[in-house]
């Protein structure tokens, strides 16, 4: 364990690794001194817990706040309100040293691998950096860990890859380096934000399989973020569906995909090209329109302008709380009242 990682002491194995309460991340549109004129409500009241070793997916259309949530969990955005607790400690309480230790325990895989990698460093240097920053001074030990993680992400031949610069690698190989960098400090939590959406279709499955294998072998907690519901069934144990800065539905993966309760989730599922004729009727349920403005989100249920089941005088006025139509299945919709 690197020196700076020792700051975190594991809580009891039963306690959640990550606990998020009423999290808000707003981006000010304009600011004059203390006067703030409007804000983008990118994350707007999100709560959930992740168990140790659990793989979950956050799903929702582009612009619903997934990356803002990821970046807030990583400590890159300061929450406007609410709390993130990791291993029992609140992120807001962490000082410089503890925040550095936290960053070592949370790996991050971004959407755009080329943009994520420094262009003037070779693979060896890219992977050595986090080790140096986190106090691994012994060069031989660094080299051993770099080679081991490159074997793990199957960037082969390892010997040849070490001296390559990002532009000399394919998109899939670049993403393997990004994954290696995210793993090299042995994190407890890995956040993968649309890790395959910018890759060629031919390598997407390989990278997803790689991530899934690593998650299982290392017993990592994995938050997999995607706009594509079709990739999650073999990937996550639990799904959180996001809409306009909120989580509107969450459930174990089979339960959610086979028995979606929230009209938005039903619409998302129906929008996936479905070769099964028995499900073709669901296509009719796809509501039109665009996701709402996050500057002035609609009153009541945020989905009401697009919802085929919206009830006048209720859905357009009152924000639905989380109902539990089935055990471990939450849905923020007035239909379950």
Binding site for Mg ion (CB under 5 A): 66-67
Which residue in 239, 245, 269 sits closest to 331, CA to CA?
Answer: 239
| Positions 290 through 309 that interact with ligand SF4 (CB under 6 A) | 301, 303-304, 307, 309
- Calculate the CA dihedral of residues 123, 99, 65, 253 and round it to 10 degrees: 80
Q: How many CB atoms are closer than 10 A to CB 158?
A: 16
Q: Which of 190, 195, 177 is nearest to 128 (CA)?
A: 177
Q: How many residues bind ligand SF4 (CB under 6 A)?
A: 14
Residue 39 within binding range of ligand SF4, rule CB under 6 A: no
Kindly state the smallest distance separating residue 247's Cβ from ligand SF4, in Å. Answer: 13
Residue 42 binds which one of Mg ion, ligand SF4, ligand ADP, none, with CB within 5 to 8 A depending on kind?
A: ligand ADP
333 binds, among ligand ADP, ligand SF4, Mg ion, none (CB under 5 to 8 A by kind): ligand SF4
The conformation of residue 38, written as its DSSP 8-state character, comes to -
Does 269 participate in binding ligand SF4 (rule CB under 6 A)? no
Closest CB to ligand ADP among 180 and 244? 244
Q: Which is nearer to ligand SF4, 39 or 248 (CB)?
A: 248
How many DSSP H helices and E strands does the chain contain? 10, 14
- Residue 128 and residue 107: Cα distance in Å, rounded? 15
- Which CB, 110 or 266, lies closer to ligand SF4? 266
- Minimal distance, residue 91 CB to ligand ADP, in Å: 18
Indicate the DSSP class of residue 294.
Answer: S
Residue 247 interacts with, from ligand SF4, ligand ADP, Mg ion, none (CB under 5-8 Å by kind): none
* DSSP summary character for residue 292: P
Binding partner at 238 among ligand ADP, Mg ion, ligand SF4, none, C-beta below 5 to 8 Å by kind: none
Please report, as residue ranges, which positions from 14 to 73 form the binding site for ligand ADP (by CB under 6 A).
27, 40, 42, 60, 62-68
Residues from 171 through 210 that contact ligand SF4 (CB under 6 A): none
Peptide bond into 6 cis (omega under 30): no
Burial 48-68 (b: 16+ CB within 10 A, else e): bebebbbbbbbbbbebbbbbb
Per DSSP, 226 falls in state E
45 touches 245 (CB < 8 A): yes
Residues within the interface to ligand ADP (CB under 6 A):
27, 40, 42, 60, 62-68, 294
Residues within the interface to ligand SF4 (CB under 6 A):
262-263, 301, 303-304, 307, 309-311, 315, 320, 333-335
């Amino acid at each position: 364990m690197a020196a700076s990682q020792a700051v975190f002491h594991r809580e009891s194995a039963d306690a959640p690794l990550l606990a998020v309460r009423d999290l808000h991340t707003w981006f000010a549109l304009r600011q004059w001194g203390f006067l703030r004129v409007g804000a983008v409500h990118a994350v707007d009241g999100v709560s959930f817990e992740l168990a140790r070793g659990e793989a979950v997916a956050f799903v929702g259309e582009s612009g619903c706040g997934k990356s803002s949530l990821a970046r807030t969990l990583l400590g890159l955005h300061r929450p406007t309100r609410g709390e993130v607790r990791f291993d029992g400690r609140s992120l807001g309480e962490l000082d410089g040293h503890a925040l550095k230790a936290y960053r070592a325990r949370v790996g991050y895989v971004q959407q755009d691998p080329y943009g994520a990698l420094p262009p003037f460093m070779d693979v060896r240097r890219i992977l050595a950096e986090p080790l140096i920053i986190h106090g691994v001074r012994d060069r031989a030990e660094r080299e051993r860990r770099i080679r081991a993680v490159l074997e793990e992400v199957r960037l082969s031949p390892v010997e040849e890859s070490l001296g390559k610069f990002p532009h000399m690698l394919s998109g899939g190989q670049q993403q393997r380096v990004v994954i290696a960098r995210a793993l090299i400090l042995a994190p407890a939590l890995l956040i993968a934000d649309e890790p395959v959406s910018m890759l060629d279709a031919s390598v997407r499955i390989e990278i997803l399989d790689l991530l899934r294998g690593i998650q299982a072998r290392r017993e990592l907690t994995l938050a997999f973020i995607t706009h594509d519901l079709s990739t999650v069934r073999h990937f996550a144990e639990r799904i959180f569906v996001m809409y306009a800065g909120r989580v509107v539905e969450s459930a174990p993966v089979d339960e959610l995909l086979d028995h979606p309760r929230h009209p938005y989730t039903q619409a998302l599922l129906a929008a996936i090209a479905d070769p099964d004729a028995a499900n073709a009727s669901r296509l009719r349920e796809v509501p039109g329109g665009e996701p709402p403005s996050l500057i002035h989100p609609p009153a009541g249920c945020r989905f009401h302008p697009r919802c085929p089941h919206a009830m006048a005088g209720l859905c357009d006025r009152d924000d639905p709380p989380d109902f539990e139509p089935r055990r471990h299945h939450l849905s923020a919709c007035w239909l379950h009242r």
